[in-house]
Structure 1
Amino acid sequence: MELRQLEYFMAVADDMSFTRAAQRVHVVQSALSTSIKKLEDELAVQLFDRSRQQIRLTPAGDEFRRHARQLLNAARLAKDALNDYRGQLTGTVEFGSLVTFGALDVPKVLGDFHAAHPFVRIRLRLSQSGSSSYLASIADGSLDLALVSAPDRYPAGIDLHLLAQEQMVFTCRADHPLAKRKRVGIEQLADENLVGFPEGFGIRRLIDDAFAAAALIPRILYEVPADFTVSAALIRNGLGTAFMPESEVGRFGDLVGIPLAAPIDWRIYLARSQREHVSPAAVRLADMLAAAAEVARRPSSS
């Protein structure tokens, strides 16, 4: 059994597609399929059920995935542990990202990290089902770090560090009937056609909870799993209104952000494992994100 075979197996197990997995590990599909078949022959079990249109893991494959991930993580940590002898950081950091960061300039931190440590590869993942899904990946070792918004519960063995916090504001066009208000209550927004994130996203859960506390259900007509540029375009064209972090509204000078009578706080956390053995590269990136968040929280001197 070779590590490359385990990498190919995990790629297929994660993507549930031989085609996408081959693209991900940069090999032709026939070579990947042959490698998986040799692994199955060596183990004397079938790892994937290929009898249906959508492949799936067999019970044996599901059990093997857990051990394969542990083996690959151990191999990666063993390699990274030799950084001190090479004199420079190397390896890969698996990083789960959010679609928006508020006042925290995450792309700049990633750029600074790459400039300082060019031999470390950052693999960025963006969940389409909300950042809460990252927590299980942190727990099982398939992610090193992740940005998480409004986690309501999380597995044991995960450390959450608050990076950023700001208030959500009701966002509308300047000609909206509420645009001149200094504050607005949730009760006044019951009939609004809202632009929001899909269910499962942290910001969506904050808004749903705020309406539920007022015995209301938000009328979210447009679910947008993208940054607030798309939401702003929909608002600008008269299709609805939205809730945004205060810093995001500042990017759109033609829109109005109105504070809420009962504030809704949006928080961004950095999630990482509490395991003793975490790669030096992941530790360094976590430190840089925390330092950037500290700078962003300082009041401007102007």
Structure 2
Amino acid sequence: METRQLEYFVAVAEELSFTRAAQRLFTVQSTVSATIRTLETELGTTLFDRSTRRVALSVAGRAFLPEAKTALEAVDRARSVVQEASAGLRGSLRIGTMTSVSALDLPALLGAFHAQHPLVDMHVTVSMTGSTGLAEDIRHGRLDVALLGLPETELGGLAVRELIAVPYHALVPSGHELAGRGSLRLADLAGERFVDTPRGFGNRIAVDRAYAAMGSPRRVTVEVADLRAVPSFVAAGLGVAVVPDVVPLSVPGVIVVPLTEVGFTWPLTAASHAERPPSRALRTLLDLLDDGALGPGAGKRRQTLRNSDTGGHGAAAE
């Protein structure tokens, strides 16, 4: 059994498509199909149930998938150990991030990491679907690490380092009846129309849950994928907003009001897979992210918060 066969099998199992797996592997579909057939012959079983409409893992394929991933990870670790011993830090890192992260200068940090460790191959992906999609990519092995803004309850299966916690503020149009208040409670905005990011973004999840817990589910009438656009829609009178103080909130026509809810903050975290030992390259990058985070408490919470199965100004909230 060859490493290449395992790599092809894992790609098809995760994509559930020979075509997408071939694109991911930078090869042609016929090569992927032939490799999987050879592997099935060697194992004496069918790994995929194929039809004209869909590809699904067979019972044997589902049992084989975690073992194949473990074998590939062991090969990668062995290769990295040998390479590092002879030529310094090596390996590959697949990094996921949000559309805008200003809690830390990520390009500068990654540039510094590359300058110091040029033999580590980095691939950076920017998510347009928010932290939920990035978390799923980590759980399924498509990313090694990602910057997330999810509530703690959404971090199952992840090992997490909190880099910074950012308070939420209310945004109201300048002519709104609450614009003159020195502070607000979430309950003061119950019943209003809201501007927010789409479902799946970390800040949206947290605020939706806060209002649901009060028995006053929100009505979000404007959804924008970039948090930086929210104040402009509020200024236009299209709703109010409750957002973390992570991008410029003060624009003409908008009043920014602090919230009085204690402990209601948005976390920026660096997350990796809870059950896969981090490579030396990943550990080095995580330490660098700790050092580079700016804002209240940054760099002071270096411990892994939890393997969540058991249970300031900064970054664009997703």
TM-score w.r.t. structure 1 length? 0.83
* Residue 144 (1) aligns with residue 144 (2): yes
Per-residue deviation at 1:143?
Answer: 4.3
Tell me the distance in 1 between the aligned counterparts of 2:219 and 2:169.
17
SS of structure 1 residue aligned to 2:293 = helix
Tell me the distance in 2 between the aligned counterparts of 1:112 and 1:103.
17
Tell me the distance in 2 between the aligned counterparts of 1:233 and 1:14.
40
Tell me the distance in 2 between the aligned counterparts of 1:56 and 1:278.
30
Alignment of 1:27-176 (within 5 A): 27-125=27-125, 131=131, 143-148=143-148, 149-152=150-153, 154-155=155-156, 159-176=159-176
SS of structure 2 residue aligned to 1:162 = strand
Tell me the distance in 2 between the aligned counterparts of 1:53 and 1:192.
45
Alignment of 1:222-233 (within 5 A): 222-224=222-224, 226-232=225-231
Aligned residue identity for 1:244: V
Per-residue deviation at 1:290?
Answer: 0.5
In the alignment, which residue of structure 1 is the partner of 2:244? Answer: 245
Aligned residues of 2:91 and 2:281 also touching (Cα < 8 A): yes
Aligned residues of 2:98 and 2:147 also touching (Cα < 8 A): yes
In the alignment, which residue of structure 1 is the partner of 2:309? Answer: none
SS of structure 2 residue aligned to 1:247 = coil
Tell me the distance in 2 between the aligned counterparts of 1:236 and 1:113.
40
SS of structure 2 residue aligned to 1:212 = helix
Aligned residues of 2:196 and 2:227 also touching (Cα < 8 A): no
Aligned residue identity for 1:209: R
**Structure 1 residues 13, 277: CA separation in 2 closer, same or farther (over 3 Å shift)?**
same
Aligned residues of 1:193 and 1:240 also touching (Cα < 8 A): yes
Per-residue deviation at 1:62?
Answer: 1.3
* 1:50-73 Cα distance to aligned partner (Å, 9 max, x none): 215132211211111111110111
**Structure 1 residues 171, 115: CA separation in 2 closer, same or farther (over 3 Å shift)?**
farther
Tell me the distance in 1 between the aligned counterparts of 2:266 and 2:105.
16
Per-residue deviation at 1:272?
Answer: 3.7
Per-residue deviation at 1:130?
Answer: 5.3
Aligned residues of 1:11 and 1:24 also touching (Cα < 8 A): yes
* 1:211-248 Cα distance to aligned partner (Å, 9 max, x none): 13432111123444x33145455445544333222121
* 1:103-136 Cα distance to aligned partner (Å, 9 max, x none): 2333332232223222212234566765456667
Per-residue deviation at 1:258?
Answer: 2.1
Per-residue deviation at 1:278?
Answer: 2.6
Tell me the distance in 1 between the aligned counterparts of 2:156 and 2:133.
11
In the alignment, which residue of structure 1 is the partner of 2:259? Answer: 260
Aligned residues of 1:9 and 1:36 also touching (Cα < 8 A): yes
Aligned residue identity for 2:94: E
Total equivalences in the alignment: 297
Tell me the distance in 2 between the aligned counterparts of 1:69 and 1:90.
20
TM-score w.r.t. structure 2 length? 0.79
Tell me the distance in 2 between the aligned counterparts of 1:242 and 1:175.
15
Aligned residue identity for 2:112: D
* 1:76-105 Cα distance to aligned partner (Å, 9 max, x none): 111111243233322112334344435233
